[in-house]
Amino acid sequence: MDIQKINTEYEKASAVAFLQWALKNFGASKITVASSFGAEDVVLIDILMKLDPSVRIFTLDTGRLNEETYQVMDRIRSKYKINIESYFPDRQKVEALEKQKGFFSFRDSIDNRKECCAIRKVEPLQRALKGFEAWVTGLRRDQAVTRSGVSKIEVDAANGGIFKLNPLADWSNDDVWAYIRKNEVPYNKLHDAGYPSIGCEPCTRAVKAGEDIRAGRWWWENPEHKECGLHLPKK
């Protein structure tokens, strides 16, 4: 597959057109959607459920999500009449981490934070992606400095070389919300409370006026470190 050619061809194409291409080339049974049920993710679910409702949707339930996140998951499940597969972290690893380092070790250092993310997110993701040829994400270039180089299609070396599809790579935040309002897509109510980006409850806060949209994620770290390991910037 010529990745560069596909990116050139679909750079200006709509998210719908790109996902239609993906469904045709991979097949619905070989594509999966990783959803944290933020604004971008619910947009993708709405688009895909209109194109092919058999596409599998999964989430990484870290055990430390906000109640509002579970609420929107249930609204999505009800609206589209779909099953959402939850992947949990390894119990023994979580128990060992909390026993050895306490419940907020991720705030002590970047290494500790990445260790927590590796247990609660990265390893479950690897299990969730087994058997698939491509996974769909809600990454956008203007979300963060670590995401400015995102392409519509990439090879995900960290997950066995499967393809990573980013249909909204060229969308703006305004594009996302215009779609949600026009299509009446259920969304996380924390967005209305000043949370443009939502992760685990203890690692996410509302942003202040004028702050970057990812400022509320791991706010004690510098912007160039703000990835959990699911999405690593290109080198």
Instruction: Tell me which residues are annotated as active site.
Output: 228
SS (H, E, C) 38-100: CHHHHHHHHHHHHHCCCCEEEEECCCCECHHHHHHHHHHHHHHCCCEEEECCCHHHHHHHHHH
> Residue 59: what are its φ and ψ, rounded to 5°?
-135, 155
Q: How far is CA 33 from CA 45, 55, 133, 213, in A?
A: 8, 8, 12, 23
Q: Measured on CA atoms in the order 144, 118, 64, 57, is the torsion positive or negative?
A: positive
Cα dihedral across residues 183, 19, 74, 195: positive or negative: negative
**Burial of 20 from C-beta contacts in 10 A (0-12 / 13-18 / 19+):** middle
Whole-angstrom Cα distance, residue 166 to residue 180? 18
Q: Specify the 3-state DSSP secondary structure of 214.
A: coil
